[in-house]
Structure 1
Amino acid sequence: MNLRQLIIAAALLAFTAFSLVVVGEVGYIGLWQAGLASKATLQILLDLCIACGLGGLWLLGDAQRRGVTPWPWLLAVLTLGSIGLLAYLFMRERDATPEAAPHATP
């Protein structure tokens, strides 16, 4: 695992763990209700939607270029937000990393 994969994995695991704690406390619907509670939180929610929308468009093009089915990943972005994008990035990096060549034994 290279440094880029480690950084993505750390962000994915940490953010997923935090998200699970928050959803456990307020529920999935509670996240959306909090996002609509004030103009400030609505701004954050809209910013997240725009960023994930742009990330989803990039993911769609990237997955098609790489010959990967994009729909499960786009569904993950739609339902999980940044977690879906981080998961796609992790899998993309993992698949792009060449396997270590086995050493020939005499």
Structure 2
Amino acid sequence: MKALLIAVLIAFSAFTAWVMAQVGYVGIWTGALANPGSEQVLVDLVIACALICVWMIKDAQQRGAQAWPFVLITLTAGSFGPLLYLLLRRPQAA
């Protein structure tokens, strides 16, 4: 599982770096608000990220960890937060 998460994180990081080089951070948001179709995708991603943040908070509490760094990353950088959380989370508390 960790190997798959690392592969996804590396591939997504490379793609994100390429996109940022092409359009920049503001360009990503401009594209996300360009038309109703892209706005729908943005709203869908916001809902999915919010649900993931709720899960991360509950999971971190059960593990005796803090979720806030990963929630902040999710709010500012999307899927990087949950990917890093899954890679770095502590084992389940006994």
**TM-score normalised by length of structure 1:** 0.81
- The DSSP-based 3-state class of the residue aligned with 1:27 is helix
Give the structure 2 partner of residue 61 of structure 1. 58
Q: Which of 41, 46, 49 is the aligned partner of 1:49? A: 46
Give the structure 2 partner of residue 100 of structure 1. none
Residues 1-106 of structure 1 aligned to structure 2 (within 5 Å): 4-92=1-89, 95-96=90-91
- Offset from partner CA, 1:32-87 (integer Å, 9 cap, x none): 11000001111111111111110011001111111111111110000110111111
Match for 1:5: what amino acid?
K
**How far is 1:24 from its partner?**
1.6
**How far is 1:11 from its partner?**
0.6
Count of matched residue positions in the alignment of Structure 1 and Structure 2: 91
Tell which structure's C-alpha radius of gyration is larger. Answer: 1
**Once the two structures are aligned, what percentage of the paired residues are identical?**
44
Match for 1:73: what amino acid?
F
Compute the RMSD of aligned alpha carbons.
1.0
**TM-score normalised by length of structure 2:** 0.91
